[in-house]
């Protein structure tokens, strides 16, 4: 559905995406992560035809973003990272403007606006001024705008920014359900704590694609040593002794927490946990520290 072939994008004469090639199939949800300035937002803007393509090609459902921009826009719903100012405009009016721009009119326009407000959970905010909406609602109104014409592709820039836990859950469900209708999702994620709703992950660094694969650590494990932390209330010194005996080293600076590095080729996390349990250590939780996508970024 989305195919980038050696795509290069510039901003103010500076290359921000360089010779990037990747593909996102129907039903897949790809999270793009990278440090600030890595080119994530610029990539999404180029796919959405907001930024021009300097070299290479970007195809959406076979349509080139440069030559067939209008065809691309019909298939894409784009959510930028923030809502621009629209003084005096109400939420319902804002959606009506964009529904009309998408070619909807009459009953079809009204139904599309109602459906988008409902999907974004903003039915009661139809008459609210955009400038008066809290941050989470402003993000959700952008999602509602993107869904107006029932697009085949969703482009989400920082989709969880400014949202509370319940709003994050709703957006994650929208992304997870995309595969049910073969909708393609491409999202720029800012904090590298990638939710489980994504099927694939791509890592950018200074505009270049560094790594990509299915959104699970096994797909990125080759040649890596992962960092973990185990929480064991009041038993960290005992846990550290067990881990040192198994792995040779760990970090135990707190009474309730032990940090360690694990080479998957040497031992599995299951073996570490089993050794702790057999030693009588009460393991409360164990997981990547920091999240594994952030560790991939750190090695990129």
pLDDT digits (tens, 9 = 90+) for 105-135: 899 899 999 988 887 788 888 888 888 888 8
Q: Give the HSE-up count for residue 41: Cα atoms under 13 Å, Cβ half-sphere.
A: 12
Assign 201 to helix, strand or coil.
Answer: strand
What local confidence, expressed as pLDDT, does residue 85 receive? 75
Residue 35 confidence (pLDDT) above 80: yes
What local confidence, expressed as pLDDT, does residue 223 receive? 84
pLDDT digits (tens, 9 = 90+) for 226-238: 999 999 998 999 9
Q: For the whole model, what pTM was predicted?
A: 0.88
Pick the more confident residue, 30 or 104: 30
For residues 142 and 155, what is the distance between their CA atoms, to the nearest angstrom?
11
Cβ atoms of 263 and 225 closer than 8 Å: yes
Helix spans in 190-279 (H):
236-247, 269-278
- Which has the closest alpha carbon to 212: 9, 59, 23? 23
- What structural domains does the chain harbor? 2-215 (3.40.50.300), 226-299 (3.30.70)
By mean pLDDT, which of 61-75, 161-175, 201-215, 270-284 is the weakest?
A: 161-175
Residue 300 confidence (pLDDT) above 70: no
Residue 32 confidence (pLDDT) above 60: yes
Residues 272-277: what's their mean pLDDT? 94
Residue 84 confidence (pLDDT) above 80: no
């Amino acid at each position: 559905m989305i195919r980038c072939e050696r795509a290069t994008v510039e901003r103010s004469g500076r290359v921000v995406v360089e010779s990037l090639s990747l593909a996102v199939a129907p039903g897949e949800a790809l999270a793009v992560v990278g440090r600030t300035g890595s080119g994530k937002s610029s990539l999404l803007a180029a796919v959405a035809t907001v930024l021009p393509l300097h070299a290479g090609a970007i195809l959406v459902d076979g349509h080139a973003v440069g030559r067939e921009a209008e065809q691309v826009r019909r298939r894409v719903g784009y959510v930028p990272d923030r809502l621009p100012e629209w003084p005096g405009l109400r939420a319902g009016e804002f959606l009506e403007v964009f529904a009309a721009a998408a070619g909807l009119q009459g009953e079809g326009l009204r139904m599309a606006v109602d459906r988008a407000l409902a999907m974004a959970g903003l039915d009661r905010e139809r008459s609210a001024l955009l400038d008066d909406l809290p941050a989470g609602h402003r993000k959700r109104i952008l999602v509602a705008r993107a869904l107006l014409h029932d697009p085949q592709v969703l482009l989400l820039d920082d989709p969880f920014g400014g949202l509370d836990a319940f709003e994050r859950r709703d957006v994650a469900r929208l992304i997870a359900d995309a595969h049910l209708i073969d909708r393609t999702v491409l999202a720029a994620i800012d904090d590298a704590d990638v939710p489980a709703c994504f099927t694939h992950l791509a890592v950018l660094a200074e505009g270049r694609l560094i790594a990509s694969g299915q959104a699970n650590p096994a797909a990125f494990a080759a040649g890596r040593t992962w960092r973990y932390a185990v929480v064991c209330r009041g038993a960290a010194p005992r846990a550290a002794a067990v881990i040192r005996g198994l792995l040779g080293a760990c970090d135990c600076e707190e009474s309730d927490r032990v940090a360690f590095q694990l080479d998957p080729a040497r031992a599995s996390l299951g073996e570490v946990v089993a050794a702790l349990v057999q030693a009588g250590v009460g393991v409360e939780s164990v997981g990547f520290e920091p999240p594994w996508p952030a560790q991939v970024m750190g090695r990129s």
